[in-house]
Structure 1
Amino acid sequence: MTKKLFYNDAYQTSFDTQVVKNDKDEEGRDYVVLEETAFYPTGGGQPFDEGTLNEIRVDNVEEVDGEVRHYVAEPLDASTVNGVVDWARRFDHMQQHSGQHILSAIMQDEFGMATLSFHLGAEIVSIDLDATDLTEETLEKAEERVNEVIRDNRPIETKWMTVDESNQYPLRKKLAVDEAVRLVVIPDVDYNGCGGTHPRSTGEVQMIKLLGWSRQKKIVRLEFVCGNRVLEQLGNKHKVLNGIKGLMKRPEEALEQEVSSFIKESKQKDKQLAEQMAQLLEYEARDLASTAGEAAGVPVIERVYENRTIKTLQDLGKKIVEQTPSGIVVLVSEQKDQLQYVLAQGANCSGNMKEAAEKVMPLIEAKGGGKPNFVQGGGTKAIAADAFAERLREAALETVE
């Protein structure tokens, strides 16, 4: 088995060792197994380390069937290697993981909310809590308490011991192993079985910022960031805020009210615009109904448009059949690489537009649906738009009794 150097020293980023195995996995990815490694493999909610082996990039590290596989960007033909771990990524994971330990301890001990799972993402970290909701007061108190523990600069110790020895500590949860266990200890705060990488003290976590929570079925997902990620979040938000200030030309403290007023006005204008568009469609429908042609004794309104949305075709079709209760409406919109259509009939027409459309849809590999009196859909532009409209009209008239 590969000796895991990160268990002894999470700060070790360079090492020399022997290659034990050089192979490809079932997906054809190149990987090597080493005699010892400082690369952390994915596990326990913590992602893998990145870095290089003999200056060849390590893209992923996984523990598979008891062996630590280092997936490399290109084949590595060597019996010995020099490994270098990406320290920035490693230390970021150390900060986030230790911050999670502290946060989970505070949420359970002081608020009665146990952590069910942990996810360390590329930008955001989250824990799932055995709870139904969180209040702003709880979030404020929890954040304050976690930062107090961080500022106390308490030691973070890792100890290997037997399960019996570990039971002498106030463990946060029952251990899932029977053999030797690695305990992560933050005195008077957290005692937890964990195989992840951690700094030597809570002070190196620097700080925590709770970002918000959401309800996920019967649990609560709490998002946060620690350490350098807090500064990154602050920097990103500061850029956005400065951009808004430049657009609004208002002091920072007035931005919320200004944006709120802007959104309210925008919604009101959108509503007015929608009402005006509905009126225009009403006028257009009346005009089309008044110029309806006739085929086999049935009034027919047939039009081909360019770049009209399916929603517009639907609204227009509904208004036209109200004006021509005995008629058939064929509307086709020609897009860049597709055709969309509406086929409808008035309340006094005896046809079946769904049946008619199903006969013609294969011409454009169309998908769609509806009811016997109103169908819509779209497909490829396999034939000309006017030819497709003509085929829809013919199929519709064939269903009229």
Structure 2
Amino acid sequence: MKRKLFYVDPYQQRGITEVVTLAKDDLERWYVTLEETLFFPTGGGQPNDVGRIKDIVVFDVEEVEGEIRHYIAEPSLEVGESVDMEINWHRRFDFMQQHTGQHILTASFVELFGIQTTSFHLGKEIVTIDLDVKKVSDEQLLEVEKRANQIILENRLIETKWVSKDELDAYPLRKQVAVEEDIRLVIIPDFDYNGCGGTHPSSTGQIGTIKILDTEMQKGNVRLHFVCGNRVVDQLHRKQKTLQEVTQLLSASEDGVVKSVKVLLENGKKLEKTLEEAHQQLLNYEVKELLGNQKEETVSIERVFRHRSIQQLQKLARLTVAEATNSQLIFIAENDGLLQVVLARGTDNQANMKQLIVQILPLINGKGGGSENFAQGGGETDLTGEQLLEKIHSF
């Protein structure tokens, strides 16, 4: 069944047609096919239309084996029935703006720098194209955006034509078409000639404007994020709101936000450094407290801590055995049903920490490992730290 109406007039929002079939698909979803339709099915990077057929919600539209299936919320239509249909125009026009903006942006990259587009995705908020290039400069992006908006401002005519395969040589196509019959061209004269089955406005001015937002690397190539038309205004509102909130939090003007953030970040780095130095001093004091005035040939230290991370215990253990090379220690941390163990020995001590952790882990259903000098592990258990120490003493 040929998709007639939206090809003839993409601005038609309502129409009357006849129900041809009513059936279920493999997923048990009800759908109808129509004599002719206003609804655009998903394809070519453009999402489907939604709307109503005789006040029944159409929530998805797909082209399957040459027929356009309109998936409906309830199967209350009858074959042969004449029905009203209406698409969600706000959604349709948004897609028209984004899709046509993509044509113009892609053509601008080709015209200015010979950069091809390899894929296109029209999302709910952001549109992306993948560029067949490893890097693109800010200067190139600015020039492409300027050229694209110039084409929009000139309000150039957008033409659509049905052509045969033999007629394609008469048009300077941006890329080869993927079909061999029922070929539809979307043309912006003297700028872009492209095979496309999507919906487009009749002139470039209706796109409004194009704004490039960002780029990222995707599988070795550049992915570009942009918006067109009403989405530009939506992005401006969102960013303006965020900017206002930030200026209020920083008590700064819009022009002074960047400077205020830099000062804040710099102060944060200084504070982090100060805290790290203070933490290091506390650890040094803690080491002295652990060692006390012990003068034994072998210093054995056992402690149970609560709500101390294993990273903190590892650091404390290394500092301790570095200070007392004849020491060996067992640190246990209790953290909400989880017991974590750190074992360490000094360079003048012969205890085997690797062997000891292997004996401890089964007691706490734990995992871990290490070397003869240093080992750690943890597991969930009902044992307390003190109870685990008692069991270790029995080895």
TM-score range, shorter chain: 0.7 to 0.9
1:41 paired residue number: 41
For 1:391 and 1:85, locate their aligned partners in 2 and report how far apart those are by CA, in whole Å.
Answer: 75
Whether contact under 8 Å (1:213, 1:222) holds in the other structure is yes
2:212 paired residue number: 210
For 2:148 and 2:97, locate their aligned partners in 1 and report how far apart those are by CA, in whole Å.
Answer: 13
Q: 1:117 deviation in Å?
A: 1.2
Does 1:61 pair with 2:61? yes
- Letter matched to residue 210 of structure 1: I
For 1:280 and 1:255, locate their aligned partners in 2 and report how far apart those are by CA, in whole Å.
Answer: 37
Residue 85 and residue 290 in structure 1: after superposition, are their counterparts in 2 closer, same or farther (change >3 A)?
Answer: farther
1:100 paired residue number: 102
Residue 2 and residue 178 in structure 1: after superposition, are their counterparts in 2 closer, same or farther (change >3 A)?
Answer: closer
Q: 1:104 deviation in Å?
A: 0.6
- Letter matched to residue 303 of structure 1: V
Q: Which of 369-378 and 132-141 deviates more?
A: 369-378
Identity of aligned residues (%): 43
1:141 to 137, 143, 168: 143
For 1:58 and 1:367, locate their aligned partners in 2 and report how far apart those are by CA, in whole Å.
Answer: 54
Q: Which of 194-203 and 125-134 deviates more?
A: 125-134
1:221-255 Cα shifts (integer Å, max 9, x gaps) = 22111101110111111111111221222222122
For 1:343 and 1:333, locate their aligned partners in 2 and report how far apart those are by CA, in whole Å.
Answer: 12
- Where structure 2 has 5 or more consecutive residues not aligned to the other structure, the ranges are none
TM value normalised by structure 1: 0.85
For 1:156 and 1:133, locate their aligned partners in 2 and report how far apart those are by CA, in whole Å.
Answer: 31
Q: Which one has a bigger Cα radius of gyration?
A: 2
Does 1:22 pair with 2:23? yes
2:7 paired residue number: 7
Q: 1:358 deviation in Å?
A: 5.3
Residue 351 and residue 56 in structure 1: after superposition, are their counterparts in 2 closer, same or farther (change >3 A)?
Answer: farther
Q: 1:54 deviation in Å?
A: 4.5
Whether contact under 8 Å (1:184, 1:192) holds in the other structure is yes
Whether contact under 8 Å (1:118, 1:128) holds in the other structure is yes
Does 1:329 pair with 2:314? no
2:221 to 215, 219, 222: 219
- Where structure 1 has 5 or more consecutive residues not aligned to the other structure, the ranges are none
Q: 1:23 deviation in Å?
A: 1.4
Residue 272 and residue 75 in structure 1: after superposition, are their counterparts in 2 closer, same or farther (change >3 A)?
Answer: same
1:346 paired residue number: 345
Q: 1:169 deviation in Å?
A: 0.2
Name the count of aligned residue pairs: 386
TM value normalised by structure 2: 0.86
For 2:155 and 2:302, locate their aligned partners in 1 and report how far apart those are by CA, in whole Å.
Answer: 79
For 2:293 and 2:265, locate their aligned partners in 1 and report how far apart those are by CA, in whole Å.
Answer: 42
- Letter matched to residue 318 of structure 1: R
For 1:88 and 1:340, locate their aligned partners in 2 and report how far apart those are by CA, in whole Å.
Answer: 58
1:127 to 120, 126, 129: 129
For 1:356 and 1:4, locate their aligned partners in 2 and report how far apart those are by CA, in whole Å.
Answer: 79
- Letter matched to residue 314 of structure 2: Q
Q: 1:147 deviation in Å?
A: 0.6
Q: Which of 365-374 and 224-233 deviates more?
A: 365-374
1:167 paired residue number: 169
For 1:150 and 1:373, locate their aligned partners in 2 and report how far apart those are by CA, in whole Å.
Answer: 71
